[in-house]
Every structure is written in C-alpha cells, then in structure tokens.
Amino acid sequence: MLMFSIPRLSDISITVVATVLIWGCVGSPTIETMCQTDADCQAGLQCHSGRACVTRPEQAHDVLLRIAPPLGSGLVQEHFSASLSPEPDMYGQTWQLSKPAAVRGTIVRAQDPFHSSIPGTLIATAPGQLNGVQLRYQTTSYSTPRVFEGSNEAFGFELLLQVGPAYEITFWPDSPDIPPYTSTLKVGGDTDGWMLELPADGELVTVTGALVTSADARAGCDSSCVGCVGVKGLRVVLVDGSGHVCSSRAVTDDAGAFSVQVQPSVDKAELRFSPSGSLKPLPTGRLSQWVDLTMAWKKKQHQITLGQLNLGAIEQLVDRNILVQDVEGNPVGGAQVIGSATLSSPSQCADQTQPLFSELKVAVSSPTDIEGKVSLALPQGSVEVQVKPAMGHIAANWSGLLTVEKTIALNIVCEKRALLTGKILDFEGIPVGQATIRFTSLADLKLSPVETQALADGSFEVRLDGGDWAVVIEPPEGRGLARYSKHLVNVDLLYEPLPLQVVLPAPTVMMGTVINRDGEPMVGVVVDVIAQSMAALSTKELASAPESMDRALLVHEMHLLGTSFTSEDGRFEVLVETSQLAH
C-alpha cells in the first residue's frame, strides 16, 4: 500500500468552464447551403462540402484542442496541441483519447487504527497551455468504501486522470472541523491503495479567540474586557500567504468565541472573518497582524490564544428609506442597492499607531420594489452606496458617498445607460440576422454579460454602462460563419457612442476525427478549438481587468474560436475565424 503524508497547503487552482454554443458542423445541425461550387464564392474562397465558403489562413497558427468525451465513456477530457495550416487537409488529423489512469485509495486521519474513510471532495489540477484553461478532475471521497469497476478491493474514492502531468491534489473535507489539505501526484498508470493521510489532531495547532465589541478602544488589552459583547455569527478562517484557506472553519458563538485548527508547516496566516449568513448586518474584516505559527511548531505548542479581539463600537444601524429613479423621474424597480461603510478599528494593544483590524466594513444589500423603493439598515455618517439596475434597463449603474441621518430619506437619480447601436454583416455584405452579441464589462467581471440579438436586417441596439467592454459575436447556426471575438468597445455616458458595424470574415474549417484507445470512432465528443494567442488580448485594454478567476474566464471566453461535436464516424468540423489571431 502506498502512503503519503502531507507537508503543507499550496496553491489551489480552480478552472471555470464557460458555456458555449454548438456550431453547425458535422455533428451539429446542418449548415444551410451557402454554395454549391467554388464559383458561388468570392475570389480566393472555396466551397466546402457544398455548404459554406471558406478560406485558408495565410500562415500557420497554433491552437489548443480540448476534447471532452461523453459521460459514461470511461474516458476523461484531454488537451492536444494542433495547428491551423495554410495547406488544405481533406480529412484533418486523427486524435486518439488515451486510457486514463485510475487512482483509487482512501483518505484517513493519521493514528486512526480503523483507517476510517473521510468524506469530502478531491480535486486534481495541472497547468494548462493557456491561462484559464487547465486540466481539472474531481471526485467524491465516500465515508463508506466501495468496490469500483476494475478493482477487487474497496476504496474511499476513484479519481480518473490523464496520464503524464504532475497534479496538485487538494482535498476539501465535508466537515468544517477538518482543514483542507494538498499533496502532489504524478501518475503513469492505474494506482490502487493510494492513501492520503491527514495529520492527527495532535499534529495541528489550534488557534482560539473571541470577536467582541466595546465602546472602550482599550478593552481587552489588559486581559479584561469589561462591558464587551460577543459578536455571534461571524465565519472565521485562517488564510496562508498564497490567499488560500489553511484552517478549519468556525462560526462565532454567543460570546464571539471561535476555535480553528491549522495544518502543519504553515508559518504564518491571516485571520479573516465575514457574516455566516445571519440576517443581521455583521462586519467583515481581517486581523492586521498575521498569526505567527513558527514558534508553535518549533516548541511543539498545539494552541495559540489570541484573546478577545475588540472590534470597537459598531454604530447602531438605522433603517433608511431610499428611492431610486432615472433622469426622467421614473422609478427604477429591481435594482440591487448595496450600502457599505468602513468602520473605525481600535488600535493594537502593543502598538497604538497601528489599527487592530484592516478592511473593517459592514455591508447590506436589497433590491428595489416596483416603485423604486428600498429600506436598508445603514450606520449613521458617510456610507458608500452602489445601485445596479437590471441588465437592459435604461438606468445606469450609480455609486457615491451618502450621508445617512436619522430623519432624512435618500433619493438617488441614475443617469441613462448609453444606447449602442450597430449592425452585423457577413463577408459578402449580407446582414446576419439572429446573431447573438454578448458584452462583458472589464470594470466588473463578476457581472453577467449583457446580451442582445440582431434583427433580420443585422441591426441591434443595447444599453450599456460606461467603461470598456469585451464583445463576442455568435452567428446563428447554419450561416457558415465562425464565432468572432475581436472587438473591445469603450462607452462614455457623456457622449453618444458611434454605431458599431462588424463584418464577419470568411471562416476557416478545421476538421478531424476522434477515436478511443481501441481505434474506434467516438460519437458525441465535444471539441473546443482554443487560440493560443489573440490579437485583441495582446493589447493594453485588458490591463485594467482585475487578476482573478473571472479574468481567466474572460480570457478563455475571448480565446474560444469554435465548438463542435463528433458524428457517428467520429468526425468533427469547426468553423474558425483566423484574422483575430495574433501574428
């Protein structure tokens, strides 16, 4: 039996997969007849299979193929390097999916004589060839071991992986009382008996404390906290230097007390807290001074007591009525109104020049009713308020500082969103009706994209907030056109935006065949063609987008050239547009 102990938690990476449309190719709805012979196409284009006028790229472009077999096939998603070549290829390459490695094992606590399986989620990740595109596999660890196909023994989990890469294995226990753990694994084939051994309780450091409030800023500094009141309902975790959770999770009780356990070899960690879902507005923040665990490990101390951590005097919240209208005086219903205030943090006991907490805030949010009204519990004084009307509404986002007083109602007037008009044409100047145009805000990647659809004459209009927007155009199925994601649009609410006219170029067709490890064609396999580099993303416009998984998702969205799925004979055809690729 193979056994691995766990040295420390390292970076946890999660890949988000965007939902994409299926193009009219071999395995998808039939492309409408756009040509019968080359004579039906413009000069320099060829009629492909009597269905679409296509071109060849002027130079070769490296692309990534992400091939995902259907569920139940016993195979896993794989990535392949490919090339869009200027030379025509009647059938394209054949891509063979390999037999995945089956890693079976059990997750247990050290010193557990029964080797009881711990339930949770096991995630394996390996770097991909493009930011935001990673190999990611996950499975469930069961509390009751079971016999998986291909094995005669019972194990707590089975994880199917592509052979070759070195994986980071992260285990997230179902129980909040157990910290997450990470190890590494490189597989060359099936592995039975892989045991992930979590440290025993005696190998962990327990960090205890209490989050309390008091009007006396020095309360708690002399170990006594007269008049302090515990803050119940705050979720507390410790986070390592990479920004990943390295402790168990706790929620403060009536006295504000918490207790979390930290895994071995974490030198220092930051204590963070946030509301656990309570209806009562509670503060969010982090302890300014990191928790030093070095001496605890060296001296084999298994507990660190932080004492009572005084959040200070949290001001009484006052219910304030807010009315949201547009510039014409119409109520803005369904808008999300968010109020947040920065709280004054007491000073550290040992250093009066430094605050005890950083980013100490309280935030509340609620939607407006049909009359544009909402009531929020806000602290008195200066409050940052954001208004986010529903997508497609004429009213624009609004943000600003408001002074909250007991007797004054708050009225907010939103400017109009800019009306962007445009037209989508194909390479012959024919309108592309029913095309979907999707706008993603670079200022706030957490917002859902704004979508609209072109009319029969190719025209469209959409209301947008100010800022930079990434644009993706999805032609309708059957038009013989490729997905297009070249444009970045800037919108200024002070000026009427210029009409956006987009001409979709003639596409290139990428063909191929997918077979299984026995050489048999596979049907229903999803094939994504992803660009290695894009001209639109090599410019500085994306520099303002925050570094996050949301940004990685945007990069993936903009790099995706097209999607298809295989037919009965394993063949696929994907229409891609190459002028947007970086040279």
- Name the residue with tokens 């932080």: 306
Average pLDDT, integer, range 506-511: 93
Q: How far apart are CA 398 and CA 389, in angstroms?
A: 9
What percentage of the chain reaches a pLDDT higher than 90? 46
Count of helix runs (H) and strand runs (E) in the chain: 2, 42
pTM of the model: 0.78
User: How many whole angstroms separate alpha carbon 329 and alpha carbon 296?
Assistant: 62
Write the secondary structure of 461-527 as one string of H (helix), E (strand) and C (coil).
EEEECCEEEEEEEECCCCCCCCCECCCEEEECCCCCCCCEEEEECCCEEEEEEEECCCCCECCCCEE
Q: What is the DSSP letter of 426?
A: E
- Residue spans in the chain of domains classed CATH 2.60.40.10: 202-310
| 94-110 mean pLDDT | 92
| CATH 2.60.40.2190 domain range(s) in the chain | 2-14+99-200
Tens-digit pLDDT profile for residues 20-71: 333 334 444 344 557 889 999 999 899 988 888 999 888 888 888 999 999 8
Write down the pLDDT at residue 214: 83
Span 168-227, pLDDT tens digits: 888 999 999 999 988 888 888 888 888 888 988 888 999 999 999 887 766 666 666 777
The per-residue pLDDT for 579 is 79
Task: With CA atoms as reference, report the closest residue to 515 among 567, 581, 470.
Answer: 567
Better-scored residue on pLDDT, 111 or 482: 482
The average pLDDT across 496-519 equals: 92
- pLDDT grade, residue 279 (50/70/90)? low
Question: For 528-546, what is the mean pLDDT?
Answer: 59
Q: For residue range 310-350, what is the model confidence (pLDDT) as tens digits?
A: 888 776 777 888 999 999 999 999 999 999 888 888 877 76
Residue 555, pLDDT above cutoff 70: no
Give me the residue label for tokens 């155009």: 473
**In this structure, what token pair is assigned to residue 291?**
């928790």
- What pLDDT is attached to residue 85? 85
Three-state SS for 448? coil
- Neighbour-count burial for 277-296, b at 16+ CB within 10 Å, e otherwise: eeeebbbbbebbbbbebeeb
Tokens of 223: 């170990």
pLDDT at 1: 36
Q: What would be the CATH architecture of the domain defined by 202-310?
A: Sandwich (2.60)
Q: Is 512:518 a contact under the CB 8 Å cutoff?
A: no
Q: Report whether pLDDT(552) > 70.
A: no
Give mean pLDDT, residues 386-413. 86
Amino acid at 485: S
- CATH number, span 317-414: 2.60.40.1120
Query: What is the torsional sign of CA 14, 19, 20, 25?
Result: positive
How many whole angstroms separate alpha carbon 272 and alpha carbon 8?
20
Domain with CATH 2.60.40.1120 in the chain: 317-414
Of 2.30.40.10, 3.40.640.10, 2.60.40.2190, 3.40.630.30, which CATH number belongs to 2-14+99-200?
2.60.40.2190
The pLDDT-based confidence of 438 (bands split at 50, 70, 90) is very high
Q: Quick check: 3 pLDDT over 80? A: no
Cβ(415)–Cβ(431) below 8 Å: no
